[in-house]
Amino acid sequence: MPRDDEPKEIEQTRAALLDLLLSKVKDDKYPSATTLDLLEELLTPAELPAYAGVLMEKIAGDQYPSPSLMKRLVSLTT
């Protein structure tokens, strides 16, 4: 999560990394726990809905959704 005193370049790099990882999760049938963990570390409250949306799409599109993805989604709401 960015801090108010972070230089603009650091925030831009964080946002670019977040976009890259989010894209990776969208494209991977089975995204790695490491990628998901890193994404969750980088998220700001404003970015949470986009990440949750990606998880919901993956869960909705799978006949037998990953319990891990479902647990991650639940943990974002508590």
Within-domain flag for 66: yes
Running DSSP on this structure, what letter comes out for residue 43?
A: -
Within-domain flag for 2: no
pLDDT number for residue 78: 84
Within-domain flag for 16: yes
Q: Which two tokens stand for residue 50?
A: 């986009």
Who has greater pLDDT, 53 or 2? 53
**Cα–Cα distances in angstroms (integers) from residue 48 to residues 7, 72, 75, in the given order:** 22, 12, 12
Render the burial of 45-72: b for 16+ CB within 10 Å, e for the rest.
eebeeebeebbeebeeeeeeeeeebeeb
Quick: pLDDT tens for 38-71: 999 999 999 999 999 999 999 999 999 999 999 9
Specify the number of domains making up the chain: 1
pLDDT number for residue 4: 63
> Which domain does 56 fall in, by range?
8-77
Residue closest to 39 by CA, chosen among 58, 62, 20, 61: 20
pLDDT number for residue 66: 94
Within-domain flag for 39: yes
